[in-house]
Amino acid sequence: MATHGDVDPSLRPFAYRNRKIQNWAKTFQSAPELYFEPRNEEEVYKILESARRTGKTVRVVGSGHSPSDLALTNDYMVNLDKMARVLNVDKDRHQITVEAGMRLHELHQVLKDNGMALSNLGSISEQSVAGLISTATHGTGIKFSSLSTMVVSITLLTSTMRTITCSDTEYPEYFHAAQCSLGALGVITRITLQCEPFFRLEAIQTPSKLDPILDRFDQIVHSAEHVRIWWFPHTQNCVVWKANRTTNPVDHQTDSWTRDTLVGFHLYQFALNLSRFAPSTIPYLTRLIYNVVHKPLRRVVDDSYKIFNFDCLFPQYVNEWAIPYEKAPEALGRLDTFIQESNLRVHFPVEIRFVDADENVWLSPSYGRKTCYIGVIMYRPYHNPVPYKKYWAGYEDIMRSLGGRPHWAKAHSQTPEQLAKVYPKLHDFMRIRKELDPSGMFWNQYLHRHLGSIDKTYQISSKL
Ligand SMILES: Cc1cc2nc3c(=O)[nH]c(=O)nc-3n(C[C@H](O)[C@H](O)[C@H](O)COP(=O)(O)OP(=O)(O)OC[C@H]3O[C@@H](n4cnc5c(N)ncnc54)[C@H](O)[C@@H]3O)c2cc1C
């Protein structure tokens, strides 16, 4: 509930106190002094003016799905859920302009109604459009770049009270920085996205083994428009998921509630929770769930966004790095050896996805190189903690040694010096950041830790 006390009267209609904000996995939280839900750009300006006057930092939070403290602050937090309108639909060019707080699942429906769809997606559609692009969220498909490359133009409100609309042709440097800006340049209020005509996907899931996959890696990755591989560590078992555009009718004949929901979700969650007290059972559990739930062949046809998205099961610790595509077989082989030799008991899957190089998104983890993303996970059944730090340390050592770049949204341990070595445009990003936000209004603890100091102090609590 809003309790306004001494809040500037012009902010009161959209300002809230006593909001505790947690990310989706409940691994990080903060208690912003004021939480704002502005309804238009004028109200965003009022927030920025107030922050300037009072010396507060500002972070925008989207749907809070980043598994880190990236979006958090204890000063002013802004959420654009009330700025989620459609501003323009251009059916000829297949472009749509929306307010930046719109959630992806809402966007899909609007696009479908207008005969359009996004060309690629990640595993979920809970994100806000601005949140999605601010971390260069990716899907899979070796001929598809990060989702930030779908952006045609961005409107940004800055701490110097400027409204900037940028694109490839208008303020191109601002644009290339803003396409993945980590919330550090200002408040993104409007985004135009390039879409394509509405399409359905046919997805086929087949069981396979890790070694034969590594032997024919390139062939498998190029064998469909969208390919992902789930590897079940402690075993050689994998699932290869392939999806292609199709005109076939919707078909879910291979779905099974008992297998997918009862066993694959509820029983697995229960067993995972028990395995906290007997971690040695994890490899057996992995084999069992693989054989019952994931091994059977599946074929599904549906609207593209329903096929791209997955049930990500339970709250989780997650780490994911982008490595040069050609290093992927070596990375997976080394990860397998590390897990076996370190006597760890880790959860499945290790998720392997592919992204084409992008040439202009300065902070995209796939900037300038074809990329393989390798993601590792430790579930937190019923939000209970599980040990993961030794796993992360060994995993990160391997990814780092192969020139890896961590996914910005996820909790990682890279220092500013290490990141500067793998992001050739980081220096340019910091130059634009300084120009657009000289006072560091949008800097927070995460950015301080990973990109360096601009002399402020931040305190956010973490359950890590
Ligand atoms: C279950 C799950 C599945 C996921 N699957 C994938 C996947 O398949 N691929 C992938 O790449 N990632 C994936 N992610 C990560 C997710 O896509 C990113 O964390 C994304 O940034 C979250 O968007 P959000 O709206 O929740 O933004 P938040 O997490 O709230 O914020 C992310 C960043 O965006 C900034 N931001 C948000 N709105 C604005 C704005 N209006 N103006 C300026 N900055 C803004 C924030 O300040 C912050 O820096 C997944 C996460 C979860 C929890």
Q: How many CB atoms lie within 10 A of CB 84?
A: 16
Average pLDDT of the chain, as a whole number: 94
Measured from the Cα of 409, ligand 1's closest atom is: 19
Atom of ligand 1 nearest to the CA of 185: 43
Q: Is 409 in the pocket of ligand 1 (CB under 6 A)?
A: yes
> For ligand 1, what atom is nearest to the CA of residue 101?
41
**Cβ of 59 below 6 Å from ligand 1:** yes
pLDDT value of residue 282: 92
Q: Does the CB atom of residue 375 touch ligand 1 within 6 A?
A: no
Tens-place pLDDT, residues 82-97 = 999 999 999 999 999 9
The SS3 assignment for 137 reads coil
Cα gap 310→300, rounded to integer Å: 13
Instruction: Report the phi/psi class of residue 416: left, alpha or beta, with left for phi > 0 and alpha for psi in -120 to 50.
Output: alpha
Split at pLDDT 50, 70, 90, the class of 459 is: low
* Confidence label for 313 from pLDDT (cuts 50, 70 and 90): confident
pLDDT digits (tens, 9 = 90+) for 197-256: 999 999 999 999 999 999 999 999 999 999 999 999 999 999 999 999 999 999 999 999
Ligand 1 site, residue 419, Cβ cutoff 6 A: no
Q: Which amino acid is at 271?
A: A
pLDDT given for residue 226 in this prediction: 98
Nearest-10 Cα torsion for 411, 417, 422, 426: 90
Q: Which long-range contacts (CB under 8 A, 24 or more apart) does 271-277 make?
A: 272/314, 272/347, 272/379, 272/381, 273/381, 273/382, 273/384, 275/345, 276/381, 276/384, 276/386
**pLDDT value at residue 155:** 98
Asked whether the CA dihedral 94, 120, 41, 38 is positive or negative, the reply is positive
CA of 115 to the centre of ligand 1 (A): 26
Residue 386 has pLDDT above 90, yes or no: no
**313-331 core/surface letters (b: 16 or more CB in 10 A; e: else):** ebbbbbbbbbbbbebbbeb
**Tens digit of pLDDT for each residue in 341-372?**
998 999 989 999 999 999 999 999 999 999 99
Question: May I ask the CATH class of domain 200-406?
Answer: alpha beta
Supply the pLDDT for residue 2: 47
Distance CA 102, CA 80 (A): 8
Q: What is the pLDDT of residue 31?
A: 95
The alpha carbon dihedral of 143, 147, 151, 156 has a sign of negative
pLDDT band at 263; cut points 50, 70, 90: confident
**Contact criterion met (CB below 8 Å) for 83 and 40:** yes
Q: For residue 349, is the peptide bond before it cis, meaning its omega torsion is within 30 degrees of 0?
A: yes
Q: How many Å lie between the centroid of ligand 1 and the Cα of residue 68?
A: 10
Which residue's CA is the nearest one to ligand 1's atom 51? Answer: 65
Which candidate, 199, 202, 218, 221, places its Cα nearest to that of 142?
221
Distance CA 20, CA 16 (A): 11
Ligand 1 atom nearest residue 121's Cα? 8
CB-ligand 1 contact for 130 (6 Å cutoff): yes
Residue 439's pLDDT is 94
Average pLDDT over residues 412-432: 95
- In this prediction, residue 448 carries a pLDDT of 95
Mean pLDDT is lowest, of 59-63, 123-127, 279-283, 364-368, for 279-283
pLDDT over threshold 70, residue 432: yes
If phi over 0 gives left and psi between -120 and 50 gives alpha, with beta otherwise, what is residue 382? left
Query: Of 146, 122, 144, whose CA–CA distance to 136 is shortest?
Result: 146
Asked if residue 107 has pLDDT above 50, the reply is yes
Closest CA to 78 of 62, 65, 64, 60: 60
- What is the domain partition of the chain in residue ranges? 200-406
Ligand 1 centroid from CA 318, angstroms:
13
pLDDT of 381 over the 90 cut: no
What is the predicted pLDDT for the residue at 59?
98
Tokens encoding 317: 């610790």
Q: Is 119 in the pocket of ligand 1 (CB under 6 A)?
A: no
| pLDDT of 1 | 42
Question: Which tokens go with 216?
Answer: 């024919």
SS3 of 112, please? helix
Ligand 1 centroid – CA 132 distance (Å): 5
Q: Cα of 277 to ligand 1 centre, how many Å? A: 33
Please give the distance, rounded to the nearest whole angstrom, from the Cα atom of residue 207 to the centre of ligand 1.
31
Please determine, for residue 457, whether its predicted confidence score (pLDDT) is greater than 60: no
| Position 462 confidence tier, pLDDT thresholds 50, 70, 90 | low
Confidence category of residue 277, pLDDT binned at 50, 70, 90: confident
What separation in Å is there between the alpha carbon of 64 and the centre of ligand 1? 7
**Does ligand 1 have an atom closer than 6 angstroms to the CB of 80?**
yes
Q: Give yes or no for a contact between 224 and 242, defined as CB atoms under 8 angstroms apart.
A: yes
Question: Percent of the chain at pLDDT above 90?
Answer: 85
67-81, 260-274, 325-339, 421-435: least confident range: 260-274
Q: State the pairing for strand pair 116-117/237-246.
A: unpaired
* Residue 29, pLDDT above cutoff 90: yes
The pLDDT confidence band at residue 8, using thresholds 50, 70 and 90, is confident
Farthest CA pair distance, the chain: 66
Centre of ligand 1 from the C-alpha of residue 131, in Å = 4
370 CB-contact burial (10 Å; exposed 0-12 / middle 13-18 / buried 19+): middle
For the ranges 38-42, 182-186, 259-263, the lowest mean pLDDT is seen at 259-263
DSSP secondary structure letter of residue 383: G
- Reported as a single tens digit per residue, the pLDDT across 146-191 is 999 999 999 999 999 999 999 999 999 999 999 999 999 999 999 9
